[in-house]
Amino acid sequence: MLLPILHYPDKRLRIKAAPIAKVDDSIRSLVKDMFETMYEAPGIGLAATQVNCHIRLIVIDTSDDKSQPLCLINPHIIEKDGELEWSEGCLSVPNYYECVTRANHIKVKALDQHGKAFELEAQELLGVCIQHEIDHLDGILFVDHLSKLKQRRLLEKTRKAQQ
């Protein structure tokens, strides 16, 4: 089932997501719906916050052919190093791209959709995507990493488009 994606500056995007206590069929169903929504959008990452579910769940697939679906439940970064600038976009901020500086290499710990714990090392696009989506779970948007001037211009442009 396709889920509606919240768009900036919707205040619900600022809600900090709660940890998932139990990975059950309702979570697995949400994971399935989130992948379907992300692929349809189209995008490479989606946080539950973006579909108005304020729990710590993200789905990602950075492949060109939808062959590398990755689900991270209660993800947290346990190591990061280096620095990398990457042009980012966001399904909640359509048609807007800006360069953001993030860690080049990360190690993340999470649960999969079956509740099994795992660790993953990532860099470049996958690493950027994981950091971007974890930010969503903390109520942070990629535009928050931009200058105040760029943030103000985007907000004005978005409000005009919504009128």
Domain ranges for the chain: 11-162
- Each residue's pLDDT tens digit, 20-32: 999 999 999 999 9
Structure-token pair, residue 161: 């488009």
Is 133 one of the annotated active-site residues of the chain?
yes
Label the pairing between strands 117-123 and 70-81. Answer: unpaired
pLDDT tens for 44-83 read: 999 999 999 999 999 999 999 999 999 999 999 999 999 9
The active-site residue out of 40, 83, 133, 156 is 133
Q: Which helix (H) or strand (E) holds 98?
A: strand 93-102
If we measure between CA atoms, which residue out of 5, 12, 68, 13 comes closest to residue 42? 5
**134-to-48, 76, 102, 113 alpha-carbon distances in Å:** 10, 8, 12, 17
**How does residue 162 score in pLDDT terms, banded at 50, 70 and 90?**
confident
Global pTM value? 0.96
Q: Model confidence over 97-133: pLDDT tens digits?
A: 999 999 999 999 999 999 999 999 999 999 999 999 9
Residue with tokens 């500056």: 9
For domain 11-162, the question of CATH label 3.20.20.70 is answered with no
Residue keyed to tokens 């997501």: 17
